[in-house]
Copies of this chain bind each other. A is one copy, B any other.
Amino acid sequence: MKCAILSVGTELLMGEITDTNAVYLSRQLKELGLDVLYRYTVGDNDSRLTEVLELAFNDVDLVITTGGLGPTDDDMTKETVTEFMGDHLVEHKETVDALREIEVERRHQFSQNNFKQTFLPSRAEVFATEAGTAPGFALEKDGKIVICMPGPPREMTNMFEKRVRPYLMQFKEGVIYSRILRLFGMGESRVEYEIHDLIEKQTDPTIATYAKPCECSIRIASKRKTEEEAAEAVDEVVTQIKEIVGEYIFDENDKDLVNVVGEKLIANGISISAAESCTGGMFAEYMTSVPGISEVFERSIVTYTERAKMEELGVKQETIDKDTVVSEDVAREMVEGLYAKTGSDICVSVTGIAGPSGGTPEKPVGLMYVGCRYKGTTVVQEVLTINFSREWNRKYGTMTMLDMINKMLDGREIPTNHRLK
């Protein structure tokens, strides 16, 4: 099936926001074996929206829109699409009931214009929302289909996962099976270099590398008649890739490192605490995003000043004086002090220079020391990032903490020097 993606919103044309929805949908439709021929962006303007719909349906059978379903006056995607598809709006009882329920539950009163969202095309298949108040829908006419979804990415992706993907399964052609390997400690261009021969000689499965902040991934995908056939082909390539870069892979099914670590801790009842400096709470923030982590995550002490490190963790003034606060010994004392205080099974620490200022020739921006104590052993790793930005360095520090925990839990060796390959 041939498709087009239509993003609606004047704020997109103004460049005020980046259209991540279009990228997400492009990928999702490709997974389903549907061909995306065009993407369009128009403002909240009904004549231009109509014009683009007309053009699109010259070539495609399905148009997916995002945006313009909100409660305000400039939101007119639903009205325009309904008219274009020769339908009219009627009040949708389930949606009204859902809004009323939220009002009671949340002791909140929606304003009258929220109820504009309860009017939907009479022939539509309605996609209820779990993440907002604007429902989506699919509307068909003469074999052509428009699917409308809300614009806020969180609402849109939630609706796509729960409702639209299942709806689209009826149009799926062939079977695509894919796996995504996730790597930390090796950059995308190096990964691509290492597995270049594999990439070159493959047409199916396809192998693609992607750079993400502080990590990278490899996507292996195959389109075959049956899922078994595709899975077998993919698995064979995965085995070959693991022989080359296996030590950098932390997950083979697109799981975030923090979830890999969090789930291991929870499954084994291993308690954890952290002492953070340059990551500024990011480690705790990551850990506590894992559902169920409260069973094992004890606390994180974010000690941003020297005084806080001494008072909270017992770091000694003389240790700081000896080799500054960004040093192996301070990272070690932070871990030991944290353990003395909490007794957590795993204690982890980080001290470093996130930048952009504060670097010296001896201690440059991007230098960090990450400590980890588990089963009586404390290891400190020196990390030097390829300094991109403060945000990058904080994230790289957080990822290194998680990577060390992961390796220590698995009983793998940890080099005292960590450099991105």
Task: Identify whether the interface residues of A are mostly helix, strand, loop, or mixed.
Answer: mixed
The answer to whether B22 touches A41, judged by C-beta atoms less than 8 angstroms apart, is yes
Within 8 A of B (CB), among A335-392: 341-342, 356-357, 364, 366, 384, 386-391
Contact: A189 with B111, CB < 8 Å?
yes
Contact of A131 among B20, B111, B384, B388 (CB under 8 A): B388
Decide: B301 and A302 in contact? CB cutoff 8 A.
yes
Give a binary string over A277-312; 1 marks a CB under 8 Å from any B CB, 0 the rest.
001111111011101011001111111110110011
> Are B43 and A40 neighbours in the complex by a CB distance under 8 Å?
no
A243 CB to closest chain B CB (Å) equals 20
Using a CB-CB cutoff of 8 Å, which residues 149-193 of chain A contact chain B? Answer: 152, 154, 188-190, 192-193
Chain B residues whose CB sits within 8 angstroms of the CB of A366 once the complex forms: 106
State whether the Cβ of A37 lies closer than 8 Å to any Cβ in chain B.
yes
Number of copies: 2
Instruction: List, in ascending order, chain B residues with CB within 8 A of A293's CB.
Output: 304
A80 within 8 A of B: no
Q: Is the CB of B20 within 8 A of A18?
A: yes
Interchain CB contact under 8 A, B305 and A294: yes
**CA separation between A266 and B132, bound complex, in Å?**
37
Residue of chain B at shortest CB distance from A30: B14
A272 to B175, CA, bound (A): 56
- Determine, out of A84-92, A136-144, A209-217, the stretch whose residues face the partner at the interface: A209-217
4 A-B pairs besides A16-B208, A297-B304 with CB distance below 8 A are A13-B38, A18-B23, A106-B384, A299-B312
